[in-house]
Amino acid sequence: MAATHRTRDQTPAVVTLGTSGTTPGDVIAVARDGARVELSGEALGAMAAARRVVDELAARPEPVYGVSTGFGALAVRHIAPELRIALQRNIVRSHAAGLGPRVEREVVRALMFLRLKTLASGHSGVRPGVARAMADVLNAGITPVVHEYGSLGCSGDLAPLSHCALTLIGEGEAEGPDGRVRPAAELLAEHGIDPVELREKEGLALLNGTDGMLGMLLLACADLARLLTSADITAALTLEALLGTERVLDAELNALRPHPGQAASGANMRRVLAGSGLTGHHQDDAPRVQDAYSVRCAPQVAGAGRDTLDHARTVAARELSASVDNPVVVSGRVTSNGNFHGAPLGYALDFLAIAAADLASIAERRTDRLLDRNRSHGLPPFLARDAGVDSGLMIAQYTQAALVSELKRLAVPASVDSIPSSAMQEDHVSMGWSAARKLRRALDCLTGVIAIELCAASRAIELRAQRLRPGPAAEAVVAAARAAGVGGAGEDRFLAPDLASAEAFVRDGSLVRAAEAVTGPLA
For residue range 354-411, list pLDDT tens digits in order: 999 999 999 999 999 999 999 999 999 999 999 999 999 999 999 999 999 999 999 9
Least confident of 255-259, 276-280, 516-520: 276-280
Following DSSP, what letter does each residue of 179-201 receive, concatenated? S-EEEHHHHHHHTT-PPP---TT
CB 113 within 8 A of CB 226: no
Provide CB contacts within 8 A for 425, sequence distance 6+: 72, 73, 75
Q: What number does CATH give the domain 3-209? A: 1.10.275.10
Give the containing element (helix H, strand E) for 251.
helix 251-255
Mean pLDDT confidence for 443-448: 98
Coil vs helix vs strand at 70: coil
DSSP character at residue 15: E
Per-residue pLDDT at 498 exceeds 90: yes
Query: Sign of the CA dihedral 146, 148, 150, 153?
Result: positive
Query: Sign of the CA dihedral 95, 100, 101, 106?
Result: negative
What is each CA distance from 50 to 47, 329, 475, in whole angstroms? 5, 6, 60
**φ, ψ for residue 141, nearest 5 deg:** 75, 25
CA dist 209 and 325 (Å) reads: 6
216-325+352-418+431-519: CATH topology is Fumarase C; Chain A, domain 2 (1.20.200)
CA dist 270 and 278 (Å) reads: 13
Q: Known catalytic residue: 65?
A: yes
Q: Choose, from 65, 149, 293, 347, the residue flagged as catalytic.
A: 65
Would you tell me the crossing angle of helices 432-464 and 496-507 to the nearest 10 degrees?
Answer: 110
Mean pLDDT confidence for 154-170: 95
494-498 long-range contacts (CB < 8 A, ≥24 apart) are 495/393, 495/395, 495/396, 498/455
Kindly report the pTM of this predicted structure.
0.95
For residue range 75-96, list pLDDT tens digits in order: 778 888 889 999 999 999 999 9
> What is the predicted pLDDT for the residue at 9?
47
For residue range 7-27, list pLDDT tens digits in order: 434 556 999 999 998 999 999
Domain residue limits, the chain:
3-209, 216-325+352-418+431-519
**Burial tier of 288 (Cβ tally within 10 Å: 0-12, 13-18, 19+):** middle
